[in-house]
Structure 1
């Protein structure tokens, strides 16, 4: 059964369960909705109780979704955890005069009084729902469609519900997707407001490009590493309850390493089940901050990679050279290219270089990460929509990403994540070379060079029913596979080149043989993207000095230990050591403790002072019972 079928089955169960509850409340389909409305004083107290929720929604979230408010035939309602309306925005013209009171502040949408409805059913089920006209239990409510998503507070208790209601006969899946994003955005902002001044905040996602989206995981942890709050996306990405968990165990990363990482500089983390995550850390407001502008870092990286030509993609590796030669032959041909490779091998860099080599370079290269767009919004983002195509659609419509790539290159990254419904529309575009926006009968011709990429086995997805076979043969004209960094024969030269790209003008020292040897031992599960992250951290730590082993992050050595443990080798640089319990060992421990205390617990400076790696320092501190 496909993911979409499972979603539909779950939705059916949600509606059926709601109808069963309605019958148990003594309602039938012909029952009259009951208007339960608070008095003036009670309404004032209710809004005061939820003033932060109302203010955050009104001033910090809705302005980013003004397209919804510009649609005069829909209303946005914010309700509390009991279904009582806190505030409303938009226009009530789609509501009959006798029904307007139900949409005013203080009115209740509890299922007991109004049967199955978006707000009440979202509260009862604890999940986002869309209630179509005939899915309302009471016939009197079947004039509208509602899309609602619950909002949870910082303790993961239900705080309220956000709803978009309309009577439009329009596709509504996109509206549900927007409500989910809006509710997640509200939750994130409430968490930030509550904890940012006193605690550490970790934002993470599966892809480096998605870290700063509202669809990222967000974790708040204390000075001691205890997780005290997390958004729903964080638990979805990690797969379990995070309440009071230890953040260093969640990500297999020492707490001090997390806390001392330069603020807003991306870092790679790994979960205990070896799933890679990309993250940024934000310190409490009163903590001294080693600030690194994350957006500036990304911009610099993008500019650097944008200048890389096909000639500079490889430095002697035959597999990379073969990919370059084959791609060059097909640059001007109407044959799609499908790039395979692990996350972080440089697929987008390759595509940018390919676009710059082609005759299409005066036109746009439009890169779309199919995994970064909520499934309900993929179609409207890719194919565009006419004004009023769905509830909340912009009154100006949207051209869509495919038409933006007209005469240029369309790069569909993580194409295996594209929902089946969107796959069907994409197939039609590739067959007809025309795009029909949502809600339109007019088609627009498009001339694009299609390049796709995946880190999955699309053939296996075809067999499992997760990817259309006909689309697979449309996108896989030429299949290229970029090798992982650990398998590249030119990686030593690549290490040096990436180091030169990212160092500051005053950092002229080249990487030493010691560092290059360590790099060659490393398995690089995150590939070139991980290499860049490691070098950025090392260069930030080194400042004006040459990069040394103690400048490297601890998870770098953790990866090497896992890689070489079966050989019984020690990946760390040779350091002074002594047998546990010996006089020499006691002397080393005593010296370590003195320096550690003298330097006020600064791991990097202590390690440098003692001439050892940070990993060795951590081991000594554990022996001393300090950590």
Structure 2
């Protein structure tokens, strides 16, 4: 007979667990083998699961203080190996001989502790309630326990939450409580990873429960592809959501969803006719998506942030290599033209690393006056030089201790400063100006430059020994004109800069010109062009008349270089444009029609007409 309030499958779970315990060689008189980790290994365990522990603490504490503080119970958080990480509540009900099972590092897998809430929830990867006599070991029958597994944003089992007590709280109550708290933790893990960088859609059956932890949660990118979903979303929609899209799941278009006001509820109908209320939240930052968090300190192969690219093979390979080597403390040198996205690439690398919780200390070596570079990098004692701050400064390198140091445009660093930087990288110590004291530093180094450091070395402008210190792996980012993901980048930047009412998109002529443009300013130029076009179009379809003048100047240079630029239905646009007066007469004297025909702005037509007079 199943325990009241628990599903019929409960009896089967207990029978299967007891069978496993017998296979493990346990009997009812066996004592739990919780294990006692040395203090150093406990510290390593807690550090390895720091994010999970911190997230759980933030979510569990309010529930315990507001709901469970008067109950004689204990909440335990364990990792996916059944090892205890944290606890909340009282141990008054714990048998004195069993106290070691409720401290950090204690192991509750079935092989060690028999049938129990933590171990059995892990074995079955589902929530479970274990009554007193359902524990396989008699030593554990002083308590009841409910536990629910915790999955991360990638649906990996990362831990389990347990509520144990000697009281006779209703099983449905304790089981429902751990399910609710574990779902809250899962939602927080998802949001912490994605909410600043992606669109977030919460949906539920009623307006009053949109903010509930039981609401469905979808994370999707600017093209509508689902990147992550909580398990509640699976349950509400009755399907697995990975690889799905907004258009497939709901009877609405992506544009209609994106047109909703930020945070305002709206009606939503699923493709299976279920009716919901939804709430859209836009990214807090203009970066689209960050890589998945690494597991156990290892980078995730192929997890390319869309802030960096949308599938370009060269960038995918560069990011994967950079992730792997950065974790092994190999210095990286990022090469690429100005505006090619080197800084965005580095920021995404840092956010995907195990040092993401620490700051990224970025230094533009070309922007700091040469007289101040040493002081800014290495710090100084008070009174070290005229104009020094009266309190001194620790310097940017020491600020990057235990974090990531990014030296942008390192090729512009003065030779004298290069010598000091080399010494820091060799000795891993910093000596501030005016001081004799050495300060140890633990940094991961990424450098970037738009010029060839090898050429700089040959010309005597960059130290050869420093070059080999900073270039453990050289990675070259392709310029925008060579990238294969330009259309997706255009859509991403358009979505980033547009207002909610601006949904018209681009004229086909504009997209054709974008594909053929040389983009000497790379991503920075593309972003500027799209911002100008959005402002001029003011909600209309973006056409060639909305593009800035210098956009067409670059096209003319491209034409004179022997590249023919065509729009979708117009003749080749050459640098001379032929006889514009004849073309204008053919267009009935309509300047706008001629500009569209040629794929240029009206201002360009006026200029060319004046030049031909």
Q: Relative contact order, CA 8 A, sep 6+: which one is greater? A: 1
Q: Which is greater in Rg?
A: 2
Larger helix proportion of the pair: 1
Q: Output the TM-score relative to the length of structure 1.
A: 0.46
